[in-house]
Amino acid sequence: MIPPESPDIAGALAWARGYIAPPEARLLLRRVHQCSAAHLAAWPEKALPQAEWTTFRALVERRAVGVPMAYLIGEREFYGRGFMVGPEVLIPRPETELLVELALAHFSAMPHAKVLDMGTGSGVLAITLALELDRAEVCALDQSRAALSVAMSNAIRLGASVSFLCSDWYAELGEEHFHLIVANPPYVAENDPHLTLGDLRFEPREALAAGGNGLAGLALIAAGAGRRLENGGWLFMEHGHDQAAAVRGILADAGFAAIASWPDLAGIERVSGGRWTG
């Protein structure tokens, strides 16, 4: 379809309908034109400045080849807050809020809890816990410097006090001990066909997939957690829809007690964890 030369709002949206779903086109145009949904609806005949039209066209073309909306908008909501995201980090998923809820259920009565987030990505878990727990001391690590830079920007923007560390899992961590370790590590099996579909095609592979059956990261975190946890401390890890039994086995092998799995809003066992009793 030949794009019109200098369309109004209605013309730009009509052109975009040839490529992407209308609600997505409206979201992208709102971003570019910096306006509300009501504004778009109320002013269909308003001319679009040339620079905005060029930007909008580029966004629609990228969306048409599958680039996730979150990367095009540059933001995704998690636990009620807006987080900046880019192709350096996994797009936060609603099911990951279960990790936050479990952490709050176990630690909201404890001031000054020491918390470690393993593989923080955009920082959603570390930052949310720093803001929701009473004076928690939160450390977040990731092996990707690019991801850490996104997480740091999010912490500054949201006013969260988190210390960040570039580390391949526990490698660079000192002898500190924590009351709580949380992780949403890569856990998708290497040959899982989902990796070739939808948003996942554009997300960092190292944040999604862990060699072989996807359990390598989960096993490594569990095996090292005991040495880093205070007596009575908890480890909670997100995992795949069919990995709960395997992860409970991993936690048992690592010496955890009170091992359990918890369902997400879809009723799928999505987080497993246990208590370290030394």
What would the x/- binding string for ligand GLN be over residues 126 to 165, using CB under 6 A? ----------------------------------------
Give the one residue of 92, 186, 233, 273 binding ligand GLN; rule: CB under 6 A: 186
Give the one residue of 200, 221, 229, 271 binding ligand GLN; rule: CB under 6 A: 200
Sign for the pseudo-dihedral over CA of 65, 69, 75, 79: negative
Residue 69 or residue 90: which is nearer to ligand GLN going by CB? 90
For the CB of residue 124, give the shortest distance to ligand GLN in the complex, in Å: 11
Residue 29 or residue 218: which is nearer to ligand GLN going by CB? 218
120, burial (CB in 10 Å: exposed 0-12, middle 13-18, buried 19+): buried
What would the x/- binding string for ligand GLN be over residues 67 to 106, using CB under 6 A? -----------------------x--x-------------
Residue 16 or residue 208: which is nearer to ligand GLN going by CB? 208
Q: Strand 178-183 to strand 162-166: parallel, antiparallel, or no bridges (unpaired)? A: unpaired
237 touches ligand GLN by CB under 6 A:
no
208 touches ligand GLN by CB under 6 A:
yes
187 touches ligand GLN by CB under 6 A:
yes
Which of 25-33, 44-52, 97-105, 184-192 is the region at the interface with ligand GLN (rule: CB under 6 A)?
184-192
CA distance 83 to 93: 12
Residue located via tokens 């990261």: 217
CA distance 185 to 256: 19
Give the one residue of 138, 151, 188, 215 binding ligand GLN; rule: CB under 6 A: 188
Crossing angle of helices 124-132/97-107, nearest 10°?
30
